[in-house]
Amino acid sequence: MRVSDFLTVCRLDGRTRAAWQTQLTAAKQTPGLMPLLLRRRQELLPRFAAAYRQLRALPRRVRRRMQRHWHQSLAGLALGLALGQGVVLADTINVDGATCSLSNAIVTANTDVNTGGCVQLPSATAGADTLVLQPSSVHTLIAANNGTFGATGLPVISSEITIEGHGSTIRRDSEAVNFRILAVNVTGNLTLKDTTISGGVASGSFPADEGGGIFNDAGTVVLEGSTLSGNTASYSGGGMSNITSSSGVSTVMLINSTLSGNVAYYGYGGAYPTGLSPMEQASRWRSPVARSQAM
């Protein structure tokens, strides 16, 4: 080992050194990999160490999900990143409701710029983002964030975002003025997991009067293990409204999700399907939409 290599290894913490050694041992099983790692050690070892530290900083449940998805240890993932093998991982943003609010987390994901205490891990890069909410947390919105499609409590989803709710609830404060909870535009792709959306009120003139829970303007919305309940629209789509635009049609998928107790004064208390293809309309009914009311 050259002196420079020795000094680089010595500067690493014990866990990172051990992880690097496991990858050197495993590399013997892949023809040509061991010589590559040895030849490019000065370049790869610092990159490996940085990637490994960032991966270790992720919440435990996120690390486990990544390892299951890629069938790799954290060290194996770090080596793949160091080698630039195209291991593309969604950035993770931990939403604690204090240092990082849900609104700032969405802005961070949309813009790929860390905002208001929210930090993308392992780094602020373009692409998909996963917002991780604290288990069973309640995110109460007290004012509208924007009026792009009418008063909406959270920033418009304009990128690929997954919200991992872990049993959390996002709701409008009952004393607040009327506004819906979420909106998704034509470039937006929202996956909502294990989350309840409630208390949203869509009112005014179109499009402000549609989609009390979620307004989907030709974007993509996937609800997985989630619930839209207690939302209201003065026109249609108390739980969710899906509309067409000049750019295309809405895409919606409900998986083990429930739309209940939503109210629309014109029709479609649960979800308004304008612009959905027949297949997408069929997929909408894979989950219960009972007990939503049209008045």
Q: Are residues 136 and 271 in the same domain?
A: yes
What is the chain's mean pLDDT, rounded?
82
Can you give the pLDDT at residue 125? 67
Assign 284 a pLDDT band (cuts: 50, 70, 90). very low
Is the pLDDT at 290 greater than 70, yes or no?
Answer: no
The whole-number average pLDDT for the span 133-158 is 97
Give the end of a domain, one of 29, 64, 88.
Answer: 88
pLDDT at res. 36: 80
Residues 173 and 230 in one domain: yes
The answer, yes or no, to whether residue 139 has pLDDT greater than 90, is: yes
**pLDDT score for 268:** 52
Do 131 and 117 belong together in one domain?
yes
**Residue finishing a domain among 88, 106, 128:** 88
127: nearest Cα among 90, 86, 79: 90
Q: Where are the alpha helices (DSSP H) in the chain?
A: 3-10, 14-27, 33-39, 41-56, 60-70, 74-83, 102-111, 278-284
Nearest CA to 157 out of 114, 220, 235 is that of 220
Say if residues 226 and 162 touch (Cβ distance below 8 Å). Answer: no
Query: Residue 208's pLDDT is what?
Result: 94
Residue of 71 and 77 predicted with greater confidence: 77
Q: Are residues 58 and 158 in the same domain?
A: no
The pLDDT value recorded for residue 250 is 80
Select from 48, 66, 88 the last residue of a domain.
Answer: 88
**pTM above threshold 0.75:** no
